[in-house]
Amino acid sequence: MLRRTVITAAAVLAVVLGVQGGAEAAPAPGVPGAGDSYYPDYGNGGYDVGHYDIRLRYHPQTDRLTGTTTILATATQDLSAFNLDFALRTTSVRVGSRPATFAREGDHELVVTPARPLLAGQSTTIVVTYDDVPSSVVAAGYTAWNRTPDGALAVGQPESAWWWYPGNDHPTDKVTFDVSVLVPSGVEAISNGSPTRWAQPELRGWDRWSWRSAAPQATYLAFLAIGDFDTYGDETPDGQPVITAYSTRLDDVSAAAARSSIERTREILDWQAGLFGPYPFGPRGGVVSGPRDLGFGLGAVPPGSGTPGAECAIPLSSPGNPRRATASARSCPPR
């Protein structure tokens, strides 16, 4: 009797263990970080982004930014929830066709729980709407949204995206971008890539500017410059767009020096192509902000280089675009 009981119990245990061993793991939350040893909470796990479609409305007088960003993403694991890097006030999130719940963790983590788990390999859209005053939002101890006398600049490394669009903010997840901005008539809105709409009237007293980056780029390389600029469009001999813009707040000496520097772009790229091969991206150009707008120079005219007041020349084609200086330039290889 004892032997029979032991055998029966062992058989039941084997059946239970067999069922457990064959069961699939339940969907789990993605990790809040891409595994970067320097910035462990930057980026996110569990999904890859394929494209960002960013639609904004900005009023320079109030610094009010409203937006809808649509993210095309593919789950790399079964996900019950996932994180987006974002610091602004979020008003709604949809995953696929269904509303999702969301919660803030820390100053730049938005935790999204879809109505149904995402399965590994499943592609979906994530639509985030938001409304805030970016210059008043502090994350990681500062803000990368720089309000200017006539608009704003969103630019900075390694983080600037948190203040104007949500995403997977790590350079290992490079993607293409569409950026579309509605601003008051007479105000320019400039971003990376090629213009697809140039000051197109949409509402009374408002114009839309739209830009497309067809080459994948890191999230922190996307930039936005809003304000009063003298903007010029040209083409290279092979038909690629060249866009340059200069703040109207530059004095004549600074503006002339900035133009002299940036207009050497074609010459510099030709020289670099002789060293490294053909330039791998299409659009090129630069944006020069007004005096004291940033307090630092990004890829541009450093203080004391002969261009007083021109603090920032922002590359339009992001990865691979030359960093400009008055007398010399160095290449920035793709990250």
pLDDT tens figures, 233-287? 888 878 888 899 999 999 999 999 989 988 888 888 889 989 999 888 888 888 9
54 domain-assigned: yes
CB 285 within 8 A of CB 299: no
What does the pLDDT average to over 142-161? 90
Residue 92, pLDDT > 90, answer: yes
Whether residue 252 sits in one domain with residue 200: no
Q: How far apart are CA 193 and CA 286, in angstroms?
A: 11
Neighbours of 186 (CB within 10 A): 10
Q: How far apart are CA 227 and CA 246, in angstroms?
A: 10
Q: CB neighbours of 172 closer than 8 A, spacing ≥ 6?
A: 34, 43
**Could you give the percent of the chain with pLDDT greater than 70?**
77
Is residue 152 within a helix (H) or strand (E), and if so which, with residue range? strand 151-154
18 domain-assigned: no
* Domains of the chain: total: 2
Whether residue 237 sits in one domain with residue 208: no
289 domain-assigned: yes
Q: What is the tens place of the pLDDT at every residue in 182-224?
A: 999 999 999 999 999 999 999 999 999 999 999 999 998 999 9
Q: Closest by alpha carbon to 86, among 158, 13, 160, 152?
A: 160
What Cα–Cα distance (Å) separates residue 251 from each residue in 162, 177, 296? 32, 33, 18
3-state helix, strand, coil in the chain (%, to 5): 15, 40, 40
The pair of structure tokens assigned to 187 is: 């105000």
Handedness of CA 294, 299, 303, 307 (dihedral sign): negative
Q: On the CB side of 292, how many CA atoms lie within 13 Å of its CA? A: 2
Whether residue 235 sits in one domain with residue 113: no
Whether residue 252 sits in one domain with residue 119: no
For the ranges 2-11, 127-136, 298-307, the maximum mean pLDDT occurs at 127-136
Q: How far apart are CA 105 and CA 108, in angstroms?
A: 7
16 domain-assigned: no
CB 59 within 8 A of CB 207: no
Whether residue 300 sits in one domain with residue 252: yes
Q: What integer best gives the mean pLDDT of the chain?
A: 81
Neighbours of 277 (CB within 10 A): 8
Whether residue 176 sits in one domain with residue 223: yes
Whether residue 242 sits in one domain with residue 174: no
Whether residue 326 sits in one domain with residue 293: yes
Domain around 234: 230-335
What Cα–Cα distance (Å) separates residue 234 from each residue in 180, 250, 316? 21, 22, 14
Q: How far apart are CA 3 and CA 15, in angstroms?
A: 19
